[in-house]
Amino acid sequence: MKNLKNIFFPMIAIIGASILLSCEYGDSNSSSTKPKARGAIGEIILAIDSTKWEGPVGEALRGVFEEEVPGLIRGESMFDIRKVDPRGLTRILRMATNIVYVTTFDDRKSASQNINALFSKEAKEKAAADPSLYFLRSEDEFAQGQEVVYLFGNNEQELVENIEKNKSKLQNLFQVRERTRMEKILLSRKNSAAKVAGEELGLSINVPASYQIVKAENDFLWLRQPTPRTDRADISMFFYETDYNSEEQVFPESIIALRDKITKMHIYGDPNNRNSYLIIERVDPSPVFSNFKINDNFGVEIRGGWKTNNLSMGGSFLAYVIVDAEKGKLYYMEGFLYYPNETHREAIREIETVLLATELLNDENRIG
């Protein structure tokens, strides 16, 4: 089996991993007696001096953690940042799931000095000798299941340059982490019927037990959570298999045409109105296409907005196109949500988590 999770799990370079923290907090690997970390999905506690936050360092950090999620119908930041003064980090705050400490060693203000005291003399000497050292990652430092990241520099200019240069790595670190957290919650109970139905398409589909099959055919499967609530988005996912004959099939316009073909046949905002099939919003927002490789197979990620052809409904979506050139197959898989007047970020994260848990089956694993 080829697990799609691997496409967004590049190795995060742990720059400066040899740098040592002071031993004030003991052995960070001994987490058996520590409390469990707590915190909402997407939340990051940022410990930083207020003056530094208002200056170039804060601007660089906002460019990383508060950048808008691409493709949503309304602007939403990637993460929820909760800025705190390092001197005010209580025991409760130290149990947060995600904590980022930010400092420069030349800062004499007491808030930054509070963080600097965590670094050993050897650490500061190594940083002084190598300006590229800016990042240290520590797991389970104060609580089980916790991620603590230290961003540091000899001065603000060095730190800003390193943050901006490694923007995508920092974003990916927390995106992967939050998706992993969500997967443990969502897929603790899976829908076995959906898994069996997916095998007829050549896919091992892992969805939560709360999803139900709306429609299943030889080349198509539509799943949906049947009871959306005011505090939860109406999420649907569909999967489609077709023959792969030409690389033109993965050009953006070809993908949009394929998606229109699928929805015209199968998915309507109003089942009694065949003119209410789903289409991709072309302008606001424009769809965002990104290419990637999965186990030597070509793939495309698409993020954007959808609406019904009769303009009665709309929302955000996330889709993946995967080419299995060896078997001559192309797979289209998408999750779309309807959640008017509410935020879409976490619903899209749920869709991303479920779709990336999908596996391409080998012929011996496939039904039919």
Angle between helix 167-186 and 345-355 (nearest 10): 80
For residue 132, what are the CA distances in angstroms to 13, 96, 144, 336? 12, 28, 30, 41
The amino acid sitting at 171 is Q
Strands 147-153 and 203-204: unpaired
Residue 367 pLDDT > 60: no
Q: pLDDT digits over 110-129, tens only?
A: 999 999 999 999 989 998 99
Question: Sorting pLDDT into bands at 50, 70 and 90, what band is 175?
Answer: very high
Pull the structure tokens for residue 27: 């052995």
pLDDT on residue 312: 85
What is the torsional sign of CA 240, 296, 254, 320? positive
pLDDT on residue 145: 94
Question: Sorting pLDDT into bands at 50, 70 and 90, what band is 89?
Answer: very high
User: Alpha-carbon distance 357 to 206, whole Å?
Assistant: 6
Residue 294 pLDDT > 90: no
Q: Strands of 80-84's sheet, edge to edge?
A: 80-84, 43-47, 98-104, 147-153, 135-139
Please provide the DSSP assignment of 170-204 as one string. Answer: HHHHHHHHHHHHHHHHHTTSB-HHHHHHHHTTTEE
Residue 27 pLDDT > 50: no
User: Alpha-carbon distance 222 to 243, whole Å?
Assistant: 19
Decide if 308 contacts 283 (C-beta within 8 A): no
Decide if 359 contacts 203 (C-beta within 8 A): yes
pTM recorded for the entire structure: 0.87
If you average pLDDT over residues 333-356, what whole number do you get? Answer: 95
Decide if 242 contacts 250 (C-beta within 8 A): no
Mean pLDDT of all residues in the chain? 90
pLDDT on residue 80: 97
pLDDT on residue 25: 41
pLDDT on residue 1: 57
pLDDT on residue 182: 95
User: Alpha-carbon distance 6 to 138, whole Å?
Assistant: 23
In sequence order, the β-bridge partners of residue 138 are 148
Pull the structure tokens for residue 246: 């030409």
User: Alpha-carbon distance 28 to 13, whole Å?
Assistant: 20
If you average pLDDT over residues 6-20, what whole number do you get? Answer: 40
User: Alpha-carbon distance 107 to 154, whole Å?
Assistant: 9
The amino acid sitting at 282 is R
Q: Where are the domains of the chain?
A: 2-185, 189-365
CA dihedral 4, 6, 9, 13 (to 10 degrees): -160
pLDDT on residue 311: 85
Question: Sorting pLDDT into bands at 50, 70 and 90, what band is 12?
Answer: very low
If you average pLDDT over residues 193-201, what whole number do you get? Answer: 95
Q: pLDDT digits over 232-256, tens only?
A: 899 999 999 999 999 999 999 999 9
pLDDT on residue 3: 56
Q: Give me the architecture of the 189-365 domain, per CATH.
A: 3-Layer(aba) Sandwich (3.40)
